[in-house]
Chain A
Amino acid sequence: MAAMTLFDRLFDDHVIAALGDGVSLLQIDRHLVHEVSSAAAFQQLRNGGRTVASPKQTFATQDHIVSTKPGRNDTTFAQGIEFIRYLRGNCTEFGITLFDVDDAQQGIVHVVAAETGLALPGCTLVCGDSHTATLGAFGALAWGIGSSEVAHVLATQTLPLKKARPMRIRIDGKLPHGVTPKDVILKVIRTFGIAAGVGHAVEYCGSTIRGMPMEGRMTICNMSIELGARAGFIAPDETTFEYLSGRTYAPKGRAFDEALSAWRALQSDDDAPFAKTLDLDVAAMKPQISWGTTPGDVVDIDEPVPDVDEMAPERRAAALRALSYMAVPPGHKLEGLPIDVVFIGSCTNSRLSDLRDAAAAIDGRKVSPHVRAIVVPGSTAVRYAAEREGLHRTFADAGFEWREAGCSMCVAINDDAVPPGARCVATSNRNFEGRQGRGARTHLASPLTAVASAIAGCIARPAVTG
């Protein structure tokens, strides 16, 4: 048999029918929905007089617009009520499991899908949010879809999809102190470009990836969309299986053993043909931070922002525009630039390990008095676990706000927004103009850099960096 990539295996295993022009009708094993992008889809479903084809493979959570204010409920953010209650009603009527506002399993959809064991190796998983590739970390084919596609999956539990081209990114080297998986993926995007993955499905491999726990792998896969790829994934291994064992929705006992033998076959063959292969050595890299308004506008933390005079004319206009929006003079260093807000959260960096690392980095110090710093756990389960370890007190004592789980300042669709003109160091994944609020200036970085900056009151490198 011809050598196959993992992507071929994942895709081909789900083809129900070839529809022509390279499009296949794919079986969808897991459909995750959230209150905002599902609303129009449920409207469409109802208008068409249709029903949900496979409610037991559909799971819902409230994360995007729900307030993250301590003690929040349905009505804390008034404009969210409509979405929250509409999703609740739809889940009740169609028999979909919902992790509701006050549920211990509630949280950011991609965080929840991992920790409940919904994302399994070899499954196809979709959600109406572009960061669904996060769950590719389990060796799943996971990708983000639009509302019409959500309606299609609700109605049929299938999706027509044009097969992407397989691409491989190999990452090798031991991460230096103070350098995290977030820095690695920022470096990947900076090095290969924000359109490098368009039309491709990206398999991440190499010694750095193998050495990462599931949380780090999720951070890597999460930002595949910032590389232009809809799906990014990692072949499952013992780390994956160990993480899944005992999770609520993962198979148990004999079923787990049976699954395991199928999961072990989810690898690319040695000589499998990739349309594109890229390599990155991270052994000597530094913490990364974004300076502009696309996720490819990234520098080393101690490096000046690009000198526009040296740029090609077509790049220069965009760079000047970005620098002016960000109020950073060309050629200047970001380090030392005063900041107003720090956001630790989002599906990129809000898991328990991120919060542990952030809390440890505080090291008894305090948030600078002019900085508003917030910590938003990725899920209510993460929040409870962190509270059991006392992390919430560490954050509160240092002057961080400790909030309820949700997307929060990543998307600023509720009232968690960065004020106009304010500068924010954020652990989220997008630094577009206005992403965190009108006129907000976002610098993407790791939780360690975020903590160091909160304490210094300006952009600062993690204490442990050499």
Chain B
Amino acid sequence: MEPLISLTSVVVPLLRDNVDTDAIIPAEWLRSLASDPGEGLFARWRYRADGSADPEFVLNDSRFRDARILLTGANFGCGSSRENAVWALQRFGIRCVIARSYSDIFQENCFKNGVLPIIASPGDHALLVRCCAAEASYVVSVDVAAATVTTRDGAVFTFELDLRRSNRLMSGSDEIDATLALADRIDAFRALHRLAKPWLYPANGDGSDG
């Protein structure tokens, strides 16, 4: 995972609530292991029925081609658990989302992939929305260690980010390795758990614990 320490980028505004993962990447983009999820990002809104780019859709605005920060509304990423939604954002270049709130699974999927999902307070969110409305290529900076967003006008707001997550984002370290390092504790737990609840450990694949 590519570490994420800080980021300065123009902000793409997608000001809708309840943007679901079917909208972020529709099911037909999940049909091949080889396809580029970045191309499927917001496909239903980004492309017209004939496959051409819809100039009305914000992501097709050339000013946002290299954007790395997405600004959106409440409950972003609700619906299906498909991690492809995060991969699509990431492959497009987005490393940070700023929203009012997220679905739990989507938020978790972001952290697993080095994408920072920031929850902005109503006031901070409104400020960013105003800034982006006033100026189409509005730039902000995000600092992971300090957990701050700094606007071009110098306004600074903080967001919540626990130490565990910020360390993982900044180091890009592998969570599976971290868990495997606890192998002794896992084995000890399982030995006791198995004695207490043998029916949860099917040895013969038929519900008997032989």
Q: Judge if B27 is at the interface, Cβ distance under 8 Å.
A: yes
Shortest CB distance B24–A (Å): 10
Which of B27, B113, B162, B189 touches A411 (beta carbons < 8 Å)? B27
Pair A194/B18 contact, Cβ less than 8 Å: yes
With A40-B83, A198-B103, A432-B79 known as contacts, the answer to whether A79 contacts B23 (CB < 8 A) is no
Contact B182 A122 (CB under 8 A): no
Tell me whether A82 and B105 are in contact (CB under 8 A): no
Q: A97-B205, A198-B75, A432-B22 are in contact. List 14 more A-B contacts (CB 8 A).
A: A23-B164, A48-B174, A56-B201, A128-B81, A144-B81, A146-B83, A146-B109, A228-B104, A248-B206, A250-B199, A258-B199, A259-B197, A411-B27, A413-B31
Q: Give 9 pairs: A residue, B residue, CB < 8 Å, sorted on A.
A: A37-B81, A145-B81, A146-B86, A149-B108, A251-B209, A412-B28, A430-B22, A432-B79, A435-B22
Query: Which residues of chain A come closer than 8 Å to B186, judged between CB atoms?
Result: 16, 25, 27, 156-158
List residues of chain B with CB under 8 Å of any chain A CB: 16-18, 20, 22-23, 26-28, 30-33, 44, 49, 74-75, 78-84, 86, 101, 103-105, 108-109, 112-113, 162-165, 174-176, 179-180, 182, 185-186, 189-190, 193, 196-203, 205-209
With A198-B103, A412-B27 known as contacts, the answer to whether A160 contacts B207 (CB < 8 A) is no
Quick one: which of A27, A146, A251, A412 contacts B112, CB cutoff 8 A? Answer: A146
Contact A48 B176 (CB under 8 A): yes
Q: How far is the CB of A177 from chain B (nearest CB, A)?
A: 32
Contact B209 A27 (CB under 8 A): no
Chain A residues with CB under 8 Å of B175's CB are 148, 152, 160
A16 and B182 within 8 A (CB):
yes
Who on chain B is nearest to A430 by CB? B79
Report yes or no: A122 in contact with B197, Cβ–Cβ below 8 A: yes
Per the 8 Å Cβ criterion, residues 74-104 of A in contact with B are: 79-80, 82-83, 86, 97
Closest Cβ neighbor of B205 among chain A residues: A97
- Expressed in whole angstroms, the Cα–Cα distance for A25 and B179 within the complex equals 8
Q: State whether A251 touches B44 (Cβ < 8 A).
A: no
- Distance (Å) between the CB of A323 and the closest chain B CB? 15
The answer to whether A152 and B202 touch across the interface, beta carbons within 8 angstroms, is: no
- Answer whether A146 and B108 are a contact pair too, CB < 8 Å, given A195-B74, A438-B49: yes
A17 engages B185 (CB within 8 Å)? yes
Separation of A117 and B205 alpha carbons in the complex (Å): 11
CB distance from A117 to the nearest CB of B (A): 7
A123 CA to B203 CA in the complex, in Å? 16
Q: Say yes or no: B44 contacts A65, CB within 8 Å.
A: no
A396 within 8 A of B: no
A147 contacts chain B at the CB level, 8 A cutoff = yes
